[in-house]
Amino acid sequence: MDGKSALRARLAQPGPLLVMGAHNGLSARLVREAGFDAVWASGFEISASHGVPDANILTMTDNLWAARQMVPAGLPVIADCDNGYGNAINVIHMVRAYEGEGIAAVCIEDNIFPKRCSFYAGVARELSPIEEHAGKIKACLDTRRSDDFLVIARTEALIAGWGMEEALRRGRAYADAGADLVLIHSKSKDAREVLEFARRWDRPAPLVCVPTIYKTTTADELAAAGFKVVIFANHGLRAAIQAMRSTFTTLRREQRCASVEDRIVPLEDVYELIGVPRMKAEEQSYLPAGGAPVGAVILAAAPSPGLGELTQDRPKAMLDIKGKPLLQRQVEALNEAGIKEISVVVGWQKDAVDLPNLQRYDATGSEGEAASLMCAEAVLGRRTVVLYGDILFDGEVVKRLLQTEGDIVLVVDRSSTERPGRDLVHTTNGIADDGRMLAGQRRDTLERIGVDLPGANGEWIGMLMLTPAGAQALRDAWHARARQGGQAPVHEAPSLARASLPDLLQALRDEGHPIHTIDTYKGWMEVDTFEDYRRAWSLVR
């Protein structure tokens, strides 16, 4: 049921409708949470929330923009439309716009344009002629597409000091013009005025009141007198001002966030109110896997004795290759594949790693690569590409990796299986039966990975992708061993501290976690020796 049908249906039920003022989508959600029947898109609140007086300074479009933020809260929205923002012609435009945005009802008052808020003391106040306002009401009724879109006529006769007889005359004229409800406003400190109005009311249109100033009267008392709708117009905004003022004052004085922690809601409360959990579910349902944010972790903590003096003052990742550090070339290739959130795990000569915009994790003192990766475990909550800091590769390799299904996926080069000291793999299917291979076409399952691997059918290039579930499995495997002291061998490593990534991956595989591979045929190189380094210079542009 849409808002206007719900409001019409609720009006037909017994008891008064309790309506609460709001000024934006968030406050409307709080109105719903508290159990009110409808939201009042209050001109007073909306103006104040923009920091301007309630005096037709905001335009119709400003007010409509605020009111439409309230519709998704799920309660009928009754929009305070001041004086209709002009004459009957403006009102026609207004009704089309408000009904089109899913607002349930509009309320227009008989203030002239520009209006003045009913409560501002000592400001000029004038009412439009009765016929003119009745004409606006008729314009509303003739313009609305559905009879469920309610039109509330409001008279300010009591506010302007024009007396009870004038108030009744106006109320009757607006009801006779067809208004669905009539709002009688008063700034008297007690409810006698509005109660008398209700006692003398002799039209079928139900009555609405706003007991801001006659504040001790309950909604039940007003309902007993004949009011069908009671609007608490501006208490949300006033409560917010008080809460913000005291919080700001304390923070200014104390200058630390903990000083106000006990008087503000937790962040999770905000997330819940604005629908973050639903957004997460929708992301999972509708975003392609490749569209979800992906991070990268580059492991660049280890020293590299194989390159002698070249890496005495820097890790391999900072080796200059034709005017750019290897690490920068990696970052550019990752960026090209759409990965912008990049972390680097540093250790050996960490101060030399001085590229901007990288999240740094310090693995000083860690021996094995698995321990280095665990230093960055905080960023493994999203899909992550993990890679060694000493490989050069095409962005295309990363793009294909991101398109591959699986919680843990390794990139495997099928062109070399004979290189001693490298991370070799054996996968279930290996090379196609006919002995040919199309680079990057095949997804396979890892059987074994290690340095000493007779019968290997590929080489791991030092890059893998983890989904959050894959990362969790890896972390669980690590922490389970760490809890037991970490002294037991992990695959080819003598202890957990010295385990390489292949060691931990093999352990995971042996526990039954599927690990997948995709193929590449060259398209990458490792920089491990002088010979590699020379080759890198000749290959990169």
Known catalytic residues are 54
Min CB(54)–Mg ion separation in Å: 6
Can you tell me the distance from the alpha carbon of 490 to that of 494, in angstroms, rounded to the nearest whole number? 6
The entry of Mg ion, ligand SPV, none near residue 212 (CB within 5 to 8 angstroms by kind) is ligand SPV
The least CB distance from residue 43 to Mg ion, in Å, is 3
Kindly indicate which of the ranges 37-45, 332-340, 372-380, 481-489 contains the residues binding Mg ion, using the contact rule CB under 5 A. 37-45
Distance of CA 194 to the CA centre of its chain: 45
The Cα 465–Cα 441 span in angstroms is 17
CB of 29 to ligand SPV, least distance (A): 18
Specify the residue, 193 or 369, whose C-beta has the smaller distance to ligand SPV: 193
Alpha helices in 184-218 (DSSP H): 192-200
| Contact criterion met (CB below 8 Å) for 455 and 377 | no
> Which range, of 78-86, 243-251, 400-408, 519-527, touches Mg ion by CB under 5 A?
78-86
Asked if 84 is part of the footprint of Mg ion (rule: CB under 5 A), the reply reads no
Decide whether 185 or 509 has the Cβ nearer to ligand SPV. Answer: 185
Contact present, 510 and 284 (Cβ < 8 Å): no
- Between 38 and 67, how does the x/- string for binding to Mg ion read (CB under 5 A)? -----x------------------------
Choose the one of Mg ion, ligand SPV, none that binds residue 193, judging by a C-beta under 5 to 8 angstroms depending on kind: none
Least Å distance between CB 296 and ligand SPV?
52
Q: How far apart are CA 363 and CA 359, in angstroms?
A: 13
Encoding tokens for residue 117? Answer: 């808020």
| Residue closer to ligand SPV (CB basis): 108 or 425 | 108
Residues 6+ apart with CB under 8 A from 456: 417, 424, 425, 426, 448
Tell the smallest beta-carbon distance from residue 209 to Mg ion (Å). Answer: 14
Give which of Mg ion, ligand SPV, none residue 233 binds (C-beta under 5 to 8 Å, depending on kind): ligand SPV
CA-based nearest residue to 445, from 347, 535, 516: 516
Q: Which of 37, 45, 80, 369 binds Mg ion (CB under 5 A)?
A: 80
Would you give the distance in Å from CA 98 to the centre of its chain?
Answer: 27
**Cα dihedral 531, 525, 317, 534 sign:** positive
- Of 43 and 347, nearer to ligand SPV (C-beta) is 43
Counting every residue, how long is the chain? 541
**What are the contacts of 287-293 at 24+ separation with CB within 8 A?**
289/383, 289/402, 289/403, 289/405, 290/338, 290/402, 290/403, 292/382, 292/383, 293/341, 293/382, 293/383
Nearer to ligand SPV among residue 118 and residue 500 (C-beta)? 118
Pick the closer one to ligand SPV by CB: 54 or 390: 54
CA 235/CA 48 separation, integer angstroms = 12
CB 118 to Mg ion: min, Å: 7
206 scored as a contact of Mg ion (CB under 5 A): no
Q: Which three-class secondary structure string do you get for 246-272?
A: HHHHHHHHHCCHHHHHHHCCCHHHHHH
Nearer to ligand SPV (CB atom), residue 40 or residue 393 = 40
Q: Which stretch binds Mg ion (CB under 5 A): 76-84, 322-330, 434-442, 443-451?
A: 76-84
Residues that bind ligand SPV (CB under 6 A): 21, 42-44, 54, 80, 117-118, 210, 212, 233-234
- Quick check: 191 and 167 in contact, CB under 8 A? no
Q: Look at phi and psi of residue 406 and say left if phi exceeds 0, alpha if psi is from -120 to 50, else beta.
A: left
Residue 472 Cβ, how far from ligand SPV at the closest point, in Å?
Answer: 51
Q: Which residues bind Mg ion (CB under 5 A)?
A: 43, 80
